[in-house]
């Protein structure tokens, strides 16, 4: 009787080349870490909001908040590095291009909450390819990203502007009002950032606002065109 070798015991595994094994491992890693990262992402949104909105936190609470933010950053960084280095060398640049939000979430808190939104892609209906499903996916993503984008820019600008000389944005109400009128291209001019960092975030918000409005307009035009096509006499 021939001994059972690893090749005979696991023929499919041994048939895979090394690159395929690494990609399979990365997929298992992503599946196992999805829920923990969702929880950490939600916790980060709450903690970062507390840190930005409440100006004078008690020392103990401030230490806890900062520790939580640092821990979440370390976890997100570790997750990204594991996935990147497990990816075969010939596929790493493609991985980076396909996971831009993940990379940005490591560098900027603004994008850390967006990783939770990416999980919407796993909803069966939103992953379809029909015209209606594609448009629904765009609308859901657009709405979620727009809300998170405006909200986090408001928090970032508030942190940059609070206490600055000549600042017109002093609390969260001021910051969210300024962010909303700016992204809508209204810009009343009653509030505006005065610091370099605050103005940098303002430029990001303006660029994002153009993209949001442009995408929304394209979705509306597509929907109207489809309705007209359905009611057009054959």
Task: Encode pLDDT of 22-69 as tens digits.
Answer: 888 888 888 888 888 878 888 888 999 999 998 888 999 999 999 988
- What's the distance, Cα to Cα, between the start and end of the chain in Å? 73
Which of 117, 135, 168 is the last residue in one of the domains?
117
Average pLDDT score over the chain: 80
For residue 17, give every residue at least 6 positions away whose Cβ sits within 8 Å of its Cβ, in sequence order, or none: none
Same domain, yes or no, for 164 and 213?
yes
B/e letters for 182-197, b = 16+ CB within 10 Å, e = fewer, are bbeeeeeeebbbebee
Q: Is the whole model's pTM more than 0.85, yes or no? A: no
Same domain, yes or no, for 9 and 71?
yes
Among 35-44, 119-128, 186-195, 203-212, the minimum mean pLDDT is found in 119-128
88: pLDDT confidence band, cut at 50, 70 and 90?
A: confident
What is the predicted pLDDT for the residue at 27?
85
Same domain, yes or no, for 24 and 107?
yes
Which of 97, 117, 137 is the last residue in one of the domains?
117
In terms of residue numbers, what domain contains 40?
1-117
Six token digits for residue 97: 């291009």
Same domain, yes or no, for 61 and 136?
no
Same domain, yes or no, for 89 and 127?
no
Give the CA distances from residue 63 to residues 51, 55, 71, 156, 204, in Å, rounded to whole numbers and listed in that order: 10, 14, 12, 19, 30
């Amino acid at each position: 009787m021939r001994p059972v070798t690893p090749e005979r015991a696991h023929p499919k595994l041994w048939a895979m080349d090394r690159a395929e094994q690494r990609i399979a491992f990365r997929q298992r890693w992503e599946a196992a870490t999805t829920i923990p990262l969702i929880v950490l992402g939600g916790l980060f949104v709450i903690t970062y909001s507390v840190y930005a909105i409440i100006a004078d936190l008690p020392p103990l609470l401030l230490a806890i908040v900062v520790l939580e933010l640092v821990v979440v950053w370390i976890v997100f960084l570790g997750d990204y590095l594991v996935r990147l280095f497990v990816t075969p060398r010939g596929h790493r640049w493609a991985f980076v291009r396909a996971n831009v939000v993940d990379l940005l979430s490591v560098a900027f808190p603004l994008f850390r909450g967006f990783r939770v939104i990416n999980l919407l892609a796993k909803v069966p209906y939103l992953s379809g390819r029909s015209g209606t499903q594609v448009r629904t996916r765009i609308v859901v993503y657009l709405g979620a990203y727009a809300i998170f984008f405006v909200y986090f820019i408001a928090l970032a600008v508030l942190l940059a502007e609070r206490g600055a000389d000549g600042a017109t944005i002093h609390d969260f109400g001021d910051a969210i009002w300024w962010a909303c009128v700016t992204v809508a291209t209204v810009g009343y001019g009653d509030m505006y950032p005065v610091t370099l960092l605050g103005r940098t975030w303002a430029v990001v918000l303006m660029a994002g606002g153009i993209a949001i409005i442009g995408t929304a307009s394209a979705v509306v035009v597509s929907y109207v065109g489809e309705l007209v096509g359905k009611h057009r006499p054959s």
